[in-house]
Amino acid sequence: MRCPVCRAENDDVTCRRCKADLSLMAAVEESRVQELTMAAHAAAAGHGMTTLQHAEAAHRIRHDAESWRWLAVGALLVRDFALARACYQRARNSMV
């Protein structure tokens, strides 16, 4: 994770460069990972609305290609093909 103070990359909850406390950022990112995991489990069970709800929660925390992909999967499961295509395109554009 990147420190918002000095922009150094870190693997710990304290910045290696400026010693800023990154524990809140780590907790928020862990919450996002949990939402994406729950979206994956819901998709595996075929629950489209639940997949969308968890993907949207993760997307509100931080949007990237992964959250766009899970939004696309959820949209496919609820048969909203226009939304699925739009999310898929955003996922592809996020990877560039």
Which residues lie across from 21 on neighbouring strands?
A: 14
> What fold, for 32-94?
1.25.40
First to last CA, the chain: 20
User: Do 91 and 69 meet the contact criterion of CB atoms below 8 Å apart?
Assistant: yes
Quick one: what percent of the chain has pLDDT higher than 90?
Answer: 95
Predicted model pTM? 0.85
What are the angstrom distances between the C-alpha of 86 and each of 24, 41, 57? 32, 23, 18
How much is the mean pLDDT over the chain?
96
Query: 65-77 vs 48-61: helix axis angle to the nearest 10?
Result: 160
Please tell me the predicted confidence (pLDDT) of residue 96: 64
Contact 35, 54 (CB under 8 A): yes
pLDDT digits over 10-57, tens only? 999 999 999 999 999 999 999 999 999 999 999 999 999 999 999 999
